[in-house]
Amino acid sequence: MSLTNRSRGPAGLWQTTSVRLALLFALVFGLGTGLLLLVLDIAVGRFAEETARDALRDQVSVLIADANAEGGAALVASLREHVSGGQPERFSYLVVTPGGDRLSAGLPDAVERIKGVASIHLPVDAKEDDVESDRIEVIVLTARARDGTFIAVGRDTYALAELRQWLHRLALWGGVALVLLALLCGIAAGAVLLRRLKSVTEAAERVMSGDLSERLPSLGIGLEFDDLADTLNAMLERLEAAMEALRQVSSDVAHDLRTPLTRLRNTLEDAQSAEETERDELITEAVLETDRLLEIFGALLRLAQIEGGASRRFTDVDLAAVAADVVDAYLPAADQAGWSLTLIVSQDVRVNGDPTMLAQVIASLVDNALTHGAPGQTLRVLVARAGADAELSVEDDGPGAPAEELKHLTRRFYRLDRSRHTDGSGLGLSMVAAIASLHGGTLSITNRLPGLAVALRIPLSPS
């Protein structure tokens, strides 16, 4: 699958997510504009129709009042004079008196068959050339005066038609503008994203080519993308550190195991040519040398597991109790070697950690001091609180270590010159440093003058 993906080639502008989203937004804007136009058309139509009906009711009420007061003939005469004045008028009239007088001003005779309110369609006046239709709707309201005079008043919807046309044009051109704006923004965003992703792709290809020092650049187009780049860069840093550690381990193994392997080979060669009485002794020596090599490889495997965090089983741990158990286990060996081994606990100290690993830390530090120190010295194991951390330290009053070598003591297989003829693999402090890192803590090694102090600080348990 990866080969197929690599053979696709770079994505084009129209294949980018931003352009596709822009097309989707354009469609949504278009549909939204159409829906908005429909709602506005219905709402404006209802409002204008209700307004026209209110105006018609008022007008009819006035005409009926005049007819009741002065008679139908007087009303016809008054309206004829009003209409002949030539003033622009949106109302149309049809008045028919029982005596046969008739006034028709804009309404056809067929209106006499209407009772109440009705809508009719009449041809558009030539002067109304701004209305895009050949017929116009007219709302008609009819009534009769007390003397039987028929009164019909009509109100055209020219204003409503003009408003609707204006809204249609606004919605149409506004929708087109929104669609075009969405497309342009999508294309621009896609081009910017492609250009910035190209730099990320180039950096990733350099990493794939073996340059683990390469880091992904920040996209600068959103906090979530920057967070992703930071996470990937942190992963690359871990990977680079792991590869560097692997190279260092490989170099250390090749360098530091060459001597015991050579010694083992020479012992076996000597056993081949030795007399039978010496052969068993040489074979025994070879077996012991093999056991030491197996211990070294076992320690390397354990160290790799700790650094990978694969075997951690954290729980709430009483650090003072763990230290007490280890000190009790080493007291006989310390007494036999002429050491004074003491435990000093200032207060109850609890941490969130792996009890087996923490016990291994204390055991490694105590064993390291007993192995490389001289008889008659004092060894102290201290457990105390240090702010928000727990501090576990092992101190002796021996010669200490050269100041320039302190920073190298946690390297794999690193040993001081005076310690090269004593038992040990040079992995004890490396293991302690790895366990400290796994627990989110720090390891410090300082000279006490006299003596050496190794201190482990890890966060206290939240409980």
Least confident of 6-15, 20-29, 321-330: 6-15
* Whole-number pLDDT of residue 213: 78
Q: Where are the alpha helices (DSSP H) in 119-222?
A: 158-208
- What letter would DSSP give residue 442? E
For 67-120, what is each residue's pLDDT tens digit? 899 888 898 888 888 877 655 467 888 999 988 888 988 888 888 888 888 888
pLDDT band, residue 2 (cuts 50/70/90): very low
- What letter would DSSP give residue 12? P
**Nearest in space to 238 (alpha carbons), one of 309, 335, 161, 340:** 309
Q: What is the mean pLDDT of residues 132-149?
A: 83
Among the candidates 164, 185, 209, a domain finishes at 164
Structure token pair of residue 449: 């003058």
Is residue 51 assigned to a domain?
yes
- Given a cut of 60, whether residue 138 has pLDDT beyond it is yes
Residues 320 and 448 reside in one and the same domain: yes
Number of structural domains found in the chain: 3
CB atoms within 10 A of CB 159: 13
Residues 328 and 445 reside in one and the same domain: yes
For 149-193, what is each residue's pLDDT tens digit? 999 999 887 777 777 788 778 777 877 887 788 778 777 777 777
DSSP element (H, E) containing 316: strand 315-318
How would DSSP label each residue in 166-177? Answer: HHHHHHHHHHHH
Is residue 129 assigned to a domain?
yes
Arithmetic mean of pLDDT over the chain:
78
Q: Are 168 and 112 in contact (CB under 8 A)?
A: no
For 425-442, what is each residue's pLDDT tens digit? 567 777 888 888 888 888
Query: Could you tell me the CA-to-CA distances from 263 to 60, 266, 290, 336 in Å, in that order?
Result: 126, 5, 10, 31
Give the N- to C-terminal CA distance of the chain in Å, as an integer: 49
Give the domain range for residue 415. Answer: 312-459
* Whole-number pLDDT of residue 35: 82
For 33-45, what is each residue's pLDDT tens digit? 778 777 877 887 7
Whole-angstrom distance, CA of residue 303 vs CA of residue 67 = 113
Residues 114 and 38 reside in one and the same domain: yes
Is residue 263 assigned to a domain?
no
- Indicate the burial class of 459 (C-beta count within 10 angstroms; 0-12, 13-18, 19 or more): middle
Structure token pair of residue 100: 């046969």
Q: Where are the beta strands (DSSP E) in 170-225?
A: none
SS3 content of the chain, % helix, strand, coil (to 5): 60, 15, 25
Question: The CATH number of the domain where 327 resides is what?
Answer: 3.30.565.10
* Whole-number pLDDT of residue 418: 47
Residues 160 and 230 reside in one and the same domain: no
- Given a cut of 50, whether residue 417 has pLDDT beyond it is no
CB atoms within 10 A of CB 46: 10
Is residue 210 assigned to a domain?
no
